[in-house]
Amino acid sequence: MESMIADMAGRVFSDHVTHATRSKMAQGEWPTTLWAEIEQSGLPLALVSESAGGFGVAADDALGIMRIAGAHGVPVPLGETMLANWLLAQAGLPLVAGPHSVTDGSGLTLIAKGDGWSVSGQLDAVPWGRNVARIVTMVTHQGANMVVTLPAEGLEFQTAYNMAGEPRDGAQVALSLQADQVAQVDLPSDTLVLMGALMRSLSMAGALETVMTLCVGYAGERVQFGRPISKFQAIQHYIASMAGEVAASRSAADMVAAAFDGPAGHGPVPHLVAAAKLRTGEASQNVAALAHQIHGAIGFTEEHSLHHFTKRLWAWRDEFGTERDWAQTLGKAALAGSSDSFWEFVTGTAPKGVAS
């Protein structure tokens, strides 16, 4: 059973996200009404505590919104905004309305300057950079991990896109920041990249479910040789194989979401994020290939909605670490030290479960 917040998110997306919304966005048109509805619903604050303006729902429920947004191909940075608000709240920085982005800040340098700060360097592939109010990132300053808020109006963007037409802009940064735009946070320095990978894992899990639904629907409707192609065993086995990949992705997403606010600590759990990003990325490869095979030529057209989802899968698996990157991270951890067996490593990573 889906939670109330999941129902609400699903309703907002169903009402305001269509094939046309996604296509227009891919041509550079920001969906103003959609964002206004999302802001109105309060979803951008779902991951923050009630005292910071959230609903007080469990973290795994809140993170589920990112999966549902992925399932609808929601063409705005909702996940990014949720994470930006979470990170700002963790650092005790003020939250403001409007779309936000989160991006890797390892290319930035932070210098204390009087009461404020000076920040400079290069940002690459900032999700929705040109469309957001603020970009939230993390920068290390004298051994401390700082959350840094960059007002987007002060930046000149080099516009770029991912494969799905989502803005991924570059920016040269040279800004003076106020004291209330930077704060130290008690989170590890890789938190931002982990959050990004977690977000894309959840989004991929959602998009994969939609691709599967499209395939089951199409195979049942498309008639060739006098019967729906779903009656052919070859197609049935493609879809069954796809069902396994989709279920594994969903489980991986649930696993990482369940652990977010768990006994293991606060925020993304590195080994679980690595496993989830890798598994959903691999599933994206397998499922997208099968989906296009099942859909035939029509699935290869602009007119059909399949590409909105397969392109997102191909783009998202590359963002915030590829399967190869996360596999190596996990492999290094599994092989490190000599006392623990591989089995102890694997069982030691499991989340402690969610309240049922």
Q: Scan for tokens 């889906």, then name that residue.
A: 2
Binding mask 150-189 for other proteins (x = CB under 8 A): ----------------------------------------
CB 331 within 8 A of CB 275: no
Which residues have a Cβ under 8 Å from the Cβ of 226 and sit 6 or more positions away? none
**Stretch in the footprint of other proteins (CB under 8 A) among 39-47, 121-129, 132-140, 252-260:** 252-260
Total interface residues for other proteins by CB under 8 A: 61
Footprint of other proteins on residues 230-249 (CB under 8 A)?
230-231, 233, 235-237, 239-241, 243-244, 246-248
27 interacts with other proteins by CB under 8 A? no
Q: Rounded distance, CA 120 to CA 111, Å?
A: 9
**CB-based burial label for 6 (10 Å; 0-12, 13-18, 19+):** middle
DSSP line for 27-93: TT---HHHHHHHHHHTGGGTTS-GGGT-----HHHHHHHHHHHHHHT--S-HHHHHHHHHHHHHHTP
How near is the Cβ of 142 to other proteins at its closest, in Å?
A: 32
How near is the Cβ of 351 to other proteins at its closest, in Å?
A: 8
Query: Measured between alpha carbons, how far is residue 316 from residues 147, 224, 349 in Å?
Result: 24, 34, 24
Among 101, 191, 203, 329, binds other proteins (CB under 8 A): 329
Beta partners for 138? 147
Q: Rounded distance, CA 324 to CA 342, Å?
A: 19
Q: Rounded distance, CA 160 to CA 345, Å?
A: 40
Footprint of other proteins on residues 50-89 (CB under 8 A)?
60
Closest to other proteins by CB, 152 vs 275, is 275
**Stretch in the footprint of other proteins (CB under 8 A) among 115-123, 170-178, 193-201, 348-356:** 348-356
Among 178, 213, 224, 301, binds other proteins (CB under 8 A): 213
Which residues have a Cβ under 8 Å from the Cβ of 254 and sit 6 or more positions away? 60
How near is the Cβ of 78 to other proteins at its closest, in Å?
A: 21
| Residues near other proteins (CB under 8 A) | 60, 209, 212-213, 216-217, 219-220, 230-231, 233, 235-237, 239-241, 243-244, 246-248, 250-252, 254-255, 258, 271-272, 274-276, 278-279, 323-324, 326-335, 338, 341-343, 345-347, 349-350, 352-356
